[in-house]
Structure 1
Amino acid sequence: MATPVAPLALLNETELVRRLQARDEQALACVQRAYGKQLLTVVVRLVRDEALAQDILQEGMLKIWQGIASYQPERGRFFTWMVRVCCNHAIDSLRNPRHRFNNRNRPLEASAVCQVEATATFNPEHIGLRELTLELKPRQREVIDLLYFGGCTQAEAAQQLGIPVATVKTRARAALVALTVLARSAHYRR
């Protein structure tokens, strides 16, 4: 006679891990229900994009399912291990060149990172600066967008644009000179 199985909602971590290792798909669904929101919160904090975080979480759940044999209870709690798996996957996703390319091609206004940065570092002197940058040459504008609005270093901007750091510096310097002229002429028009 088979022993009764405890309802999934009543499983402790040890039993949950044992059932995952036995490839019980219901246990994976239980993990998703029990820990999904907490894991999603952690991933959102890393990637700052809800849709991307949900994709990463689903892929993270797959990694948890595939890698459950590597979980070692003596090294920490199951939840902590899952957080580490999902965070590592999120970091890998952010480092992926495809993500950087897609992120670079998004409008700056749509970037949650830039919106958070802008509110955290609001400076009244910046009012109107965005409009002035629209009058720059496209190559100068993309450098200014990355350096001043996107928070990139010169090296990061060079990598994203696929140009040498010296070119980034030259374009930034030329853009700042042009912005100074534009700002002065806008001031005199008032």
Structure 2
Amino acid sequence: MSTKSTYTEQELISLLKSNNREAFEYLYDHYSPALYGIILKIVKDEDSAADVMQDAFLKIWKNIGSYNAEKGTLFTWILNVARNTAIDRLRYEFKTDKILHLDSVSDGQLIGASIFNPIPATIDLRSIVERLLPERKILIDLVYFQGYTHEEVSQNLSIPLGTVKSRIRKALQELREVFSVQQNEVIFA
């Protein structure tokens, strides 16, 4: 057991980066209840949440060297590691549970189906998003590509929540205009 009952954030980070076992025990003891609550909200199953929690702390232990205090607090970093681990678990479970068996579709079922032929230049969504104004582009990236909530983006970028939502709405309107051109590209067989 740890001989010290509390650490400053700087002390804790320094000890964690030097792979101090007592510091990791302290981190687990003091942060695991909050992380478990977040994980459980995402995966919605206690057994899966326990597995994800173990995976998250393993990732924290292996990647603590990449923590950068200039980008946020230690808690924010470990919270993002735990949250991303939970989201990865959901994606994996969804992918393995929802495997399509294409050989079970008969030719008769395919007749009359619409076929979408996108313009090759528009296949890469990120390149389309790059065309947006910078203040809209970063929000779309954070929310849709990195999985942040509007509230998290608001807090992390110190922008009012209403501004975040209105900029995202405007960006989506611009993206709809880009894709409305492609609606003419749908061919019906």
State the TM-score, normalized to the length of structure 2.
0.50
Q: Which residue of 2 aligns with 1:34?
A: 30
Return the letter of the residue paired with 2:15: R
Larger Rg: 1
Same amino acid, percent of matched pairs: 31
Q: Which amino acid aligns with 1:162?
A: H
Other-structure match for 1:46: 42
Matched to 1:100, the amino acid is F
Identify unmatched segments of 5+ residues in structure 1. Answer: 1-5, 105-158, 171-190
What are the superposed Cα offsets for residues 83-129 of structure 1, whole Å, 9 maximum, x if unpaired? 10111111112112xx2377x4xxxxxxxxxxxxxxxxxxxxxxxxx
Q: Matches of 1:85 and 1:51 in 2, distance apart?
A: 19
Aligned to 2:94: 100
Moved more, 63-72 or 6-15: 6-15
Report the Cα offset of residue 165 of structure 1: 10
CA contact (8 A) 1:8 1:30 kept: no
Residues 164 and 43 of structure 1, relative CA distance in 2, 3 Å threshold: farther
Partner of 2:99: 160
> Which AA in structure 1 matches 2:69?
P
Separation in 1 of the partners of 2:66 and 2:84? 15
Given the alignment, which residue of 64, 68, 72 partners 1:72? Answer: 68
SS at 1:58 equivalent = helix
User: Match for 2:62: what amino acid?
Assistant: Q
Query: Where does the alignment leave 5 or more consecutive residues of structure 2 unmatched?
Result: 110-189
CA distance in 2, matches of 1:70, 1:64: 9
**Is 1:84–2:77 an aligned residue pair?**
no
In 2, Cα distance between equivalents of 1:62 and 1:18: 18
1:18 aligns with 2:10: no
More helix by share: 1
One-letter amino acid of the structure 2 residue matched with residue 91 of structure 1: I
* RMSD after superposition: 2.4
TM-score by length of 1: 0.50
Q: CA deviation at 1:163?
A: 3.6
Please give the alpha-carbon distance, in whole angstroms, between the structure 2 residues aligned to 1:76 and 1:13. Answer: 12
Q: Which amino acid aligns with 1:65?
A: W
Partner of 1:62: 58
Bigger RCO of structures 1 and 2 (CA < 8 A, at least 6 apart): 2
- 1:45-71 CA-to-partner distances (Å, cap 9, x unmatched) read 111111101111111001101100111
Distance in structure 2 (CA, Å) of the matches to 1:31 and 1:54: 16
How many corresponding residue pairs?
106
